Amino acid sequence: MALVIVLIFIIGYAAISLEHALRIDKLIPALLMMTITWAIISFWSPDQHLMTEQLLHHFGKTTEILIFLMGAMAIVEMIDYFDGFKAVQSLIRVKTAYQLLLVISILTFVLSAIIDNLTATIVLISILRKMVAKRELRMWMSGFVVIAANAGGAWSPIGDVTTTMLWIAGKVSSLGIIENIFLPSVINLAIPLLIASRIKIFKQTISTGQNIHKSRVSNIILLSGLGLIILVPIFKTVTHLPPYMGMMFSLAIFAIIGELLSKRQLNLSSLNEQGGHVGPTLKALSKIEMPSILFFLGILMTVAGMEQLGMIEKLGENVLAAGISKELYISILGIASAVIDNVPLVAASIGMFKDAMDADAWHFIAYTAGTGGSILIIGSAAGVVAMGMENIGFGWYLKRFSLVALAGYIGGVLTFLLL
């Protein structure tokens, strides 16, 4: 059974990578992988009731991520509705595409540590959509946004789901992960940016921040939107509820602000039924990238099926049993996270190692699992979102960014080991 599921996984990812050649949307093989994998598990399960409970458990965990993502997307779309991103855009004055790349990458790196790498990716790509008209240049920029987002999320306890897992499990402290991972994360981004300075497409001139017409409430909506996103981890700390609950709270508050600023009644449903103008909340929800959500669902639930069978945990145990050092294993774990979701890999590592809090192993896992996903476009949530928002093909990213991201990853690994 395990061999069949691995084969399905390989075929599914091959179909995703050949999306443009096959002319099949990537969500189709992702959903087929998910359903076939769990159908096989169900067929071979001796206890259907237990299997159903396990499926619901994994679906619940996956839905938490998807609801969080949908909330973040909705807030971003509402910020865009009120021209909030133009407030940032008007402050960026550069003359070349490379200068813009530096500004965008640094903004992504910092924001991802504060509001998480997934949300930061959504925000910065949305800004790029307003600033860069040429699609090819925007795709190149978006590729570096993915690298910057994953690098920035790795050194913060709330910047990436895996660092949050380690933080909640008591494996790392907030100060410990910042002190030990910040510099390797900087190197992880700096090396790709140095490489970018030699790439021809970034040498062209570009015009930004000129003749930008923004609404009267742009600054208010941008600051309140980002502030409410930052409130999410605070809400979690205070209430001990899952992050998606905090995101839904922030979305609700932001919807109220949006309705007040647009001078509309709060009863959106009745207005819509009467044929009135659709308000900012419904407008934002209608623009959510549902194909990306479904693609994400298929990938996560397929990996959850493999996790349910213990395939990922056994892989780690076999590697260690082969006499490979812990440092090498963790380095490989990061590269594997480009193919296999880093969440179950980190979950397996938490149960595998017994090191004390803030031990080097935990910090190293935080770095490798957080940044290794940049090597492939499907290797991280940031990459999946960028793939959906800019329609970036698997092969396109593989050809242009995988080696660049790998160079940054190795640079960060060597920096961590030297430290």
Please state the pTM of the whole predicted model: 0.72
Domain count, the chain: 1
96 by DSSP, 3-state: which?
strand
Average pLDDT (159-167) is: 81
| CA distance linking residue 182 with residue 184, whole number of Å | 6
Based on C-alpha coordinates, what's the Rg of the chain?
21
Residue 333, domain member (yes or no): yes
Report whether 376 contacts 339 (CB < 8 A). yes
Residue 149, domain member (yes or no): yes
Residue 20, domain member (yes or no): no
Q: Could you give the C-alpha distances from 370 to 150, 206, 334, 375, in angstroms and in order?
A: 6, 32, 7, 11
Residue 11, domain member (yes or no): no
Residue 173, domain member (yes or no): yes
| CA distance linking residue 287 with residue 102, whole number of Å | 29
Domain span at residue 251 reads 60-418
pLDDT for the residue 92: 77
In the block, tokens 């208010």 appear at: 220
pLDDT at 17 over 80: no
Residue 99, domain member (yes or no): yes
| CA distance linking residue 193 with residue 97, whole number of Å | 12
pLDDT for the residue 265: 43
372 — pLDDT class (breaks 50, 70, 90): very high
Note the pLDDT tens digit of each residue in 236-289.
778 888 778 988 999 999 988 888 877 654 444 444 444 555 667 777 777 777
Note the pLDDT tens digit of each residue in 308-320.
887 766 766 676 6
Strand partners, 96: 205
Note the pLDDT tens digit of each residue in 84-119.
777 777 777 788 889 999 999 999 999 888 777 887
Q: With left for phi above 0 and alpha for psi between -120 and 50, is residue 134 left, alpha or beta?
A: beta
What would the two tokens of residue 43 be?
């067929």
What is the three-state SS of 328-344? HHHHHHHHHCCCCCHHH
| CA distance linking residue 204 with residue 324, whole number of Å | 47
| CA distance linking residue 357 with residue 170, whole number of Å | 6
Residue 320, domain member (yes or no): yes
Residue 318, domain member (yes or no): yes
Which amino acid is residue 317, in one-letter code?
Answer: E
